Structure 1
Amino acid sequence: MDFRILHSTNSSELSYLLADRACGEAVLIDPHSRDLPVIRALLQEHQLRLRWVLRTHQHDHLRPMEFERLRQLGAPLVQGEPREGATLVNDGQNLDFGSEKIKIWRTPGHTPYCLSYICRDRVFCGGLMAVDACDLQPYPADPEALWDSVVQRLFTLPDETLLFAGHEIPLHAVSTVWGQRQSHTWFKKLDRDAFITHWTNFLILNN
């Protein structure tokens, strides 16, 4: 499987291209419409057919027409939030591209409809680990769901599992389940009750 990270110097957001070159199929995870020319050039250069566009989460209310522009890629657009034109999936469902499989996990919390995508030893988890570091969503939409998604789902995976975030800062591009368990600012220092209490009080004071 070929793998490429797409990163804009003007943004801390990250996108990922996975490809089965032998079968000529590819998947995009968390692409941004500003990168469409680069994405199309990559697909054409390597003679790849785009099989799926996968979104871990979205902030389309802050980016008008983002959804419509991404649909121009011509592949089914998978996301957790129901919307006309979106492809909805079930928790635990597998999506095929080439000879590869991607498993869907529902991991709400950063936003209400977050999804994570598991391929081999890699998990693409969007903004889950950012907690307070996403410019567009600097606090959990649902603190209780976020804790459960991270601790009761992601952290149950093998230590060496690679976690690919949707935001470069403060996680860089990749970390591991073991590393996040040992060092994450929020999930190491607080237990579930303390985490939920902190962010629930924050939301009450700021709404």
Structure 2
Amino acid sequence: MFFKSFTDQNLAQNAYLVGCQRTGDAVIIDPPREFDHILAVAKEEGLRVTAAADTHIHADYISGARQLAVEHGAKLYLSDEGDKNWKYEYTDGIDVELVKEGSTFSVGNIDFEVWHTPGHTPESISFILTDRGGGATGPMGIFTGDFVFVGDVGRPDLLEEAAGIMGTADSGARDMFQSIERFKELPDHLVVWPGHGAGSACGKSLGSVPISTVGYEKQFNWALQFDDEELFVKELLKDQPEAPVYFAEMKKLNKVGPAVLKHEDIDVLSDTASFEAAMVQDNTLVIDTRAAAVVEKNLVPGSINIPFNKSFTNWAGWLAKYDEQLLLIAEEENREKVVIALQSIGLDNIVAIVDPIALEGLTLQSYDTLSVEAFMEEMKAPNTFVVDVRNDAEWHDGHLEEANHLFLGKLRTTEIPAQKKLLIHCQSGVRSAIAATVLKARGFKDVVQLDGGYNALGS
């Protein structure tokens, strides 16, 4: 058997290539939308990807399953669990086998047993792998998707928090308790291959270690230490992080079927006139992906700055709207990666990429970064409004008495008093830089941020 994991660092999402070296067949478990690098590895190993399997209807990224089926003829194994609201709707015209509790399927001489493991979502399934081609008569491990992570379990509140399906958080938590009780019965030696690692919003305390074992999780995963269902439900639902608003869109797209990408080249604008003409089109958002230190004094009016790093995809999902036309300011070395990152969460409406050279003829804006001393002095001045853009947990851990808690992800639409000087801070200064550009784009003229964020206040 050939086995290799692939992690999208922007999404903390894990995909797995599993191949039978005797027959040359391979499957991708939880495939990402951009999968060419996985196909390349398969080819190098003499394998052909003939199948793909999703553990559930994903809410945090676009699955590549449909693209694999349409472009490469892969057979899909998709969940048939859950009620009518949790059924895939894009199965016509492609090779699909709907699976549920007790189903089995094989890729070459590798066998997969399907377990229904609801909790994160009603249709969630896990795959138990047995390498029959390697002579095994018992299972090696389990692909848990968003069921069991290293050190955590999938959050059950996303349907309620992001998709507005009320009452599902409590019922999901109770389903999760029952699924975990069953998980505890598995042999300790089984390897656990989770769908996400640290950095994902699909849990609240995911570990950074990429794999685990059933036995290890039984001993050390906080969620597996409960025998009382009520106590478990209370603890699981407590202190979950904010549910990204784009999760509702991801759930819908993965259910009805994401668009099949056509891999067309995106125009690159390198002259000021073309950029200006594109900017004034209706419902257009300019996202500047350059570093905050560059953009701070060179901000295109109306644009927001989301630097391209590990947090880019998350904040783009929070701040961009799915009906907006996107213009991306990006340096050449990052352009392809920026596009892939946006398409990974279904932000496909990319009008063009703008070369920074096109900014040279524009009148640009700026915002200031203040030291702790200068920031605290400004707070004493009249007509100021202090904005803390951190998340709920950070706010509750401690905050400035004068601050107003306005989470960054909702800052494009949050009501803010007009004619005020805005003093912004986050924990370290990274998110407040994004926030400063969001507020400048909204028309606030006097905007400053705190250098080093809340951390700097205690130094």
Interval containing the TM-score (normalised by the shorter chain): 0.7 to 0.9
Mapped partners of 2:218, 2:236: distance in 1: 19
Contact 2:54–2:65 under 8 Å retained in 1: no
Which residue of the partner structure matches residue 40 of structure 2?
Answer: 41
Q: TM-score, normalised by structure 1?
A: 0.82
The match for 2:213 is 176
Query: Structure 1 pair 77/185, CA: closer, same or farther in 2 (3 Å)?
Result: same
Question: Which residue in 2 is equivalent to 1:128?
Answer: 147
Q: Residue type of the partner of 1:112?
A: P
Match of 2:112 in 1: 102
Query: Is the Cα–Cα contact under 8 Å of residues 13 and 168 in structure 1 kept in the other structure?
Result: yes
Q: Does 1:87 align with 2:97?
A: yes
Higher-RCO chain (CA-CA 8 Å, sequence separation at least 6): 1
* Aligned counterparts of 2:144 and 2:62: Cα–Cα separation in 1: 23
Q: How far 1:189 sits from its partner (Å)?
A: 4.8
CA contact 1:4–1:18 (8 Å) conserved in 2: yes
Alignment-derived partner of residue 6 in structure 2: 6
Alignment of 1:59-70 (within 5 A): 59=58, 63=61, 68-70=66-68
**Is the CA contact (8 Å cut-off) linking 2:144 and 2:195 kept in structure 1?**
yes
- What is the match of residue 150 of structure 1? 180
Deviation (angstroms), 1:6: 0.8
Cα distance in 1 between the residues matched to 2:142 and 2:101 = 14
1:94-127 alpha-carbon deviations (Å, 9 max, x no partner): 1111112111111111111111001121100011
* Bigger Cα displacement from structure 2, 193-202 vs 175-184: 193-202
Establish whether residue 188 from structure 1 lines up as the match of residue 225 from structure 2.
yes
C-alpha displacement of 1:201:
8.1
How many Å apart are 1:132 and its aligned residue? 6.5
Deviations 1:6-57 (A, max 9, x none): 11233311111111112111111111012x2112212322332323211112
What SS class does the counterpart of residue 167 from structure 1 fall into? coil
Name the structure 2 match of 1:112. Answer: 122
Question: Could you list the runs of 5+ residues in structure 1 that have no partner in the other structure?
Answer: none
2:5, 2:14 within 8 Å by CA — same for their partners in 1? yes
1:55 is aligned to 54
Q: Per the alignment, do residues 98 and 182 of structure 1 end up closer, same or farther by CA in structure 2, a change over 3 Å counting? A: same
Residue type of the partner of 2:104?
Answer: N
- Are the equivalent residues in 2 in contact too, given 1:82–1:88 (CA < 8 A)? no
Contact 2:147 2:153 in 1 (8 A): no
Larger Rg: 2
CA contact (8 A) 1:32 1:70 kept: no
Q: How far did residue 167 of structure 1 move?
A: 0.8
Instruction: Quote the Cα distance in structure 1 between the aligned partners of 2:8 and 2:239.
Output: 31
Counterparts of 2:193 and 2:110, CA distance in 1: 18
Cα shift readout 1:140-198 (whole Å, capped 9, x = no counterpart): 8511111111222x210111111111112223221111111111122215622211245
1:67 offset after TM fit, Å? 5.2
Q: 2:17, 2:26 within 8 Å by CA — same for their partners in 1?
A: yes
- 1:54-98 Cα offsets, whole Å, 9 max, x none, are 1112325x6568554343342122222422315311311211111
3-state DSSP of counterpart to 1:79: strand
Aligned length: 200
* SS of 1:40 mapped into structure 2: helix
SS of 2:31 mapped into structure 1: coil
Structure 2: how far apart are the matches of 1:52 and 1:58?
Answer: 17
Q: Is the 8 A contact 2:3 2:17 kept in 1?
A: yes
Partner Cα separation in structure 1 for residue 49 and residue 111 of structure 2: 14
